Amino acid sequence: MSLREQGLQNKQTAPGRYVLELKDVSKVYEGRGHSTVAAYKVNFTVEPGKIVALVGESGSGKSTLARLITGIEKPTEGRITFGEWHVESLKSRQLRNYRKHVQMVFQDPFSALNPQNTVLHSIMRPLRRHLRLSEAEARERAFSIMSTVRLTPVEQFMNKKPHQLSGGQRQRLVIARAIAPEPELIVADEPVSMLDVSIRADVLNLIDEIRRTRNMSVIYITHDMLSARVLADEVIVLYRGHIVERGTSDEVLRNPSHPYTELLLESVPNPFEPKVRTASRAPEVSITRKQALVAPVKGAAGQGCPFAPRCPHVMDRCRTSIPSLTGDSRHQTACFKN
């Protein structure tokens, strides 16, 4: 093993202000006769112990960013920095070591689990692989983690397989497996969207509890504005791969300033208010994932703001230029009307 690889294997995240930093990250998929942009010059940071929510409808680029951050895919342009590592430059063995520090919680817990493995085996495997624990040590640590995610009594769950668990229990197992190697960052991609409404709050509370007690950072990917407001410290709103609004969760979701964020909030059901369509509201547009991702590769002149076709406040300028994020550290918006 090279000295570089040994450093990656044994490394702790370098102390600093940010756990993760994305700088001008773009992801372009080349197709027949067109380019599909899944992420366009994305910039954001994640601070230690904070939860950052990436919010947007299907096709906004949220899951693409998750794949780039975890190293599943590489960006077309830009840099992803984790501590002293440049994620886009890591090779296969280095990526295996990197994933000890950055773990993922998937949307579908059943497909994320090996149906042949027991609960205990699923948790012990990353402990032995990443922390190099003995079987006895891994078993003891796995019991403790099962208690943390409330898969208790331990004796009742340890030998069960995924099909013998409820949806909520399977997601708790996925979370247990993710926190086993003691990562600094967890990327949670729609972790409660496939669960019953009655247990979603419990799983989100568990993620928040683990974040606080273990001082881990979390990237929470969701289309649910309400859960983002409750769980996240910072909210980043994405549309067709562009960041259109960002800031503290209270600022963005209490005082939205981008028309797209306003539409997302209007779509949240409110049982106490009748739904009234106003003249200023943009028309509803049903878009497929492929349509949602089509965007200019490098902001070529004449392409304009990606939200312009749906915007109720569109101006001529919106059709020819892409707005930059403006504002202060608490609230920024990419819109010419502000």
Per residue in 107-143, pLDDT tens? 888 899 999 999 999 999 999 999 999 999 999 999 9
Distance CA 71, CA 92 (A): 9
Percent of the chain with pLDDT over 90: 66
Whole-number pLDDT of residue 61? 93
pLDDT bin (cut points 50, 70, 90) of residue 292 is: very low
Q: Which residues contact 294 (CB under 8 A, 6 or more apart)?
A: 34, 36, 37, 240
Is 243 in contact with 235 (CB distance < 8 Å)?
A: no
Looking at residue 280, the DSSP 8-state letter turns out to be: T
Q: Which CATH number fits domain 3-101+217-333: 3.40.50.1360, 3.40.50.300, 3.40.50.170, 2.30.30.240?
A: 3.40.50.300
User: Domain map of the chain by residue range?
Assistant: 3-101+217-333
Is 101 in contact with 183 (CB distance < 8 Å)?
A: yes
pLDDT bin (cut points 50, 70, 90) of residue 278 is: very low
- The token duo for 337 is 């009307």
Percent of the chain with pLDDT over 70: 85
Distance CA 210, CA 217 (A): 10
pLDDT bin (cut points 50, 70, 90) of residue 271 is: low
Q: Is the peptide bond before 109 cis (omega within 30 degrees of 0)?
A: no
- Dump the DSSP string for 56-125: -STTSSHHHHHHHHTTSS--SEEEEEETTEEGGG--HHHHHHHTTTEEEE-S-HHHHS-TTS-HHHHHHH
pLDDT bin (cut points 50, 70, 90) of residue 17 is: confident
User: Is residue 284 predicted with pLDDT exceeding 70?
Assistant: no
Looking at residue 176, the DSSP 8-state letter turns out to be: H
Predicted confidence (pLDDT) per residue in 38-89, tens digit: 999 999 999 999 999 999 998 899 999 999 999 999 999 999 999 889 999 9
Whole-number pLDDT of residue 270? 59
Whole-number pLDDT of residue 8? 43
Distance CA 96, CA 301 (A): 41
